[in-house]
Amino acid sequence: MSFDRDAVESFLFLEARLLDGMAYEAWLELFDEKTLYWMPSNRDHTDPAREVSIVYADRDQLGFRVDQLQSGSAWVQDPPPRLCRAVSNIEIREAEDGDLDVESVVQVMVLRRHKSRTLMGRVQHRLRPHTEGFRIVQKKVVLVDNDEVIDDLTFLV
Amino acid sequence: MASEGRNYAHLVQDDRVHGDIYLDPDIFDQEMERIFHHGWVYIAHESEFPEPGDFRTSGVGRQPIILTRDEMRHVHVLLNRCTHRAASVCQAERGNARLFRCAYHGWSFRNTGELAGVPYADGYGPDFRREDFGLRSLPRVDSYRGFLFGSVQPTGITLREHLGAPVMEQMDLFCDLSPSGQIDLSAGTHRYGFDGNWKLQVENTIDGYHPNFTHQAFFKGVQQRMGLNMTLFEGNSGGFNRDLGNGHTLLDSRGFSRTDPLSQRRVEMIKLMAKPYYEALVDRHGEAHAEDLLRFNGTHMNIFPNLMLLQNQVRVVGPIRVDRTDIHVQPALLKDAPDVINTMRLRMHEQFYGPAGGGNPDDAEMFERVQVGLQASVDPWLFIGRGLHRERHDSDGTRYGQMTDELSQRGILHHWRKLMLAGESRES
């Protein structure tokens, strides 16, 4: 085993903390320039070239989303939700070229305007070692209810 | 409730509507009967169950239905209700089945609706006729360009009368972007909802006044990152807001697109990235109309009461309760178009639409804010008078105004009033 499990866990917890705090610029820094962020719609058996996703974004498009979130006129963030997530069931496998494939389960509580809801799903990260820990080369979020009616997700998971 | 009661002529006036039409659960029940269980309602698209045996469940108002395609490829629209003791016989949204077996007492039905089997049949006397107990069919079904509409009422105006020529012309623009003229709704669905009345989404879809404010963050991002300046929704743009009759309404950017540099840029980009696709459209429609199809990029239209065609997407509004609405959005793939075109349509769609899109969630936020504000009944009126002084009549019989005018909201709500009053006279 040539990877450092603590380092991987710390990295996922850091990402979770940045998202909970809606520190999107710092969060974006965790992504590789050639990253892909993918949140499928309609379960997990989808071909993104032929089927719609909830999010299918490269780094530039993630940046566009972050700009909008921080613009002061993303009305669905006014007031902002209160977010708290747990990351667990972390499994790590070595991938090619020193990358790591990390699978985890995320559970997010979203509280806004006196109403709370819970999102839950499986997350796959492909991580590339970097001087400051890792960079995310690919992130896929498969929410349990991604084919059901689901309210705002612009705050990202 | 307010002392006005349900005097629909009072609740919906020329330039204003009363908040009760979004708040009163009894009015919602009447809408279900007088609108959704009376006239034509969109139910599904033929591309969603293309093969023999395929089915798709849907609904008309509150009534659950199954759309099936039998071995002869005929479409049947059946009520999802066992003719024995009313259990729904199909639980899946989509699938392929020759038989639907009711799990409660084991009655089974062919995908044509015929009753195929009854367990322990000797329990029924000699008068029992199987042919009397097939799944019930929706009384009327018709389609245009693969869009299936149904009506709970056995009589009434035809679907073509309901739609009218201007609506069908826009549906043609939407479908003719495919080289074979067929759209394909197999790309999956975005589902989201909001705690507000269904009419708020209907009115918003063709609201040319709100984009520069509700969606200012998105448009600013487009402007900053891509250098694209959206002028369509400015108060002096050349876009039109159009009332197509029967509650159908349109944001009409056809004239605007012919001079808009962004629309032309899209045509040139498509020529570069998918020349055979462009040539196929030219072969079928001639160069001038092919370029128009690409410039217009579909349509932006409401088909009353529950169907919307917006650029790449088919949107269906599902009223759940007076203050809860679900929306299903399906990006339309273009049959026989190259993958590069269809994938581009999906990626563009995701940027603005769906639960994490840059646009939809802010609209839903506005609907919820309206639903909160409506509770203030000291002054219960909503003002929809913008552009009332400058409505014009066009040669095709439609009325139109400037893009940001509220002609379309008036078109929807005045038609709504007409249907509610017509229902009242039927019931009295």
Q: Check if B108 contacts A (Cβ < 8 Å).
A: no
Contact between chains at A68 and B358 (C-beta distance less than 8 A): yes
- What is the distance between the alpha carbons of residues B303 and B384, in angstroms, rounded to a whole number? 20
pLDDT at A46: 79
Torsion angle defined by CA atoms of residues A21, A15, A149 and B102, in that order, rounded to the nearest 10 degrees: -140
Cβ contacts of A67 on chain B, cutoff 8 Å: 217, 221, 224-225
Whether residue B154 is predicted with pLDDT greater than 80 in this model: the reply is yes
Is there a contact between B248 and B399 (Cβ–Cβ < 8 Å)?
A: no
Chain A residues whose C-beta sits inside 8 Å of any chain B C-beta: 39, 41-42, 46, 48-57, 60-61, 63-65, 67-68, 71-76, 147-154, 156
Whether residue B6 is predicted with pLDDT greater than 90 in this model: the reply is no
Q: Which of B314, B33, B8, B277 is nearest to B146 (CA)?
A: B314
Cross-strand bridge partners of residue B246:
none
Whether residue A76 is predicted with pLDDT greater than 80 in this model: the reply is yes
**Percent of chain B topping pLDDT 70:** 99
Please give the structure tokens belonging to residue B193. 């909802």
Q: Check if B190 contacts A (Cβ < 8 Å).
A: yes
Contact between chains at B224 and A67 (C-beta distance less than 8 A): yes
How far off is chain A from B356, nearest CA to CA, in Å?
Answer: 4
Is there a contact between B22 and B370 (Cβ–Cβ < 8 Å)?
A: yes
Name the residue in chain B with its Cα closest to that of A152. B355
Q: Check if B210 contacts A (Cβ < 8 Å).
A: no
Contact between chains at B220 and A71 (C-beta distance less than 8 A): yes
- What is the distance between the alpha carbons of residues B139 and A30, in angstroms, rounded to a whole number? 58
Cβ-based neighbours of B110, under 8 Å, separated by 6 or more: B70, B98, B99, B116
State pLDDT tens for residues A3-17: 899 999 999 999 999
Strands (E), B313-374: 313-321, 324-331, 333-334
Contact between chains at A150 and B217 (C-beta distance less than 8 A): no
Residue with tokens 């008078």: B385
pLDDT at B197: 98
Mean pLDDT for the stretch of residues B59-66: 97
Contact between chains at B339 and A49 (C-beta distance less than 8 A): yes
State pLDDT tens for residues B188-201: 999 999 999 999 99
Contact between chains at B362 and A48 (C-beta distance less than 8 A): no
Compare CB distances from A39 to B224, B356, B364 and report the shortest one's residue.
Answer: B356
Question: What's the distance, CA B135 to chain centroid?
Answer: 27
In this complex, how many residue pairs, one in chain A and one in chain B, have their CB atoms less than 8 Å apart? 115
pLDDT at B3: 41
Compare CB distances from B350 to A55, A67, A154 and report the shortest one's residue.
Answer: A55
Distances B382 to A20, B17, B149, B203, B386 between C-alpha atoms, Å: 38, 5, 31, 12, 12
Contact between chains at B221 and A52 (C-beta distance less than 8 A): no
Cβ contacts of B331 on chain A, cutoff 8 Å: 52
B328 compared with B3, residue with greater pLDDT: B328
| Per-chain mean pLDDT for chain B | 95
- What is the distance between the alpha carbons of residues B193 and B246, in angstroms, rounded to a whole number? 26
- What is the distance between the alpha carbons of residues A144 and A42, in angstroms, rounded to a whole number? 10
Contact between chains at B343 and A49 (C-beta distance less than 8 A): yes
pLDDT at B208: 97
Q: Check if B113 contacts A (Cβ < 8 Å).
A: no
- What is the distance between the alpha carbons of residues B103 and A142, in angstroms, rounded to a whole number? 32
State pLDDT tens for residues B160-185: 999 999 999 999 999 999 999 999 99
Is there a contact between B165 and B296 (Cβ–Cβ < 8 Å)?
A: no
Q: Which of B400, B416, B144 is nearest to B251 (CA)?
A: B400
pLDDT-based confidence at residue A1 (cuts at 50, 70, 90): low
Strands (E), B152-290: 183-184, 190-194, 240-245, 248-252
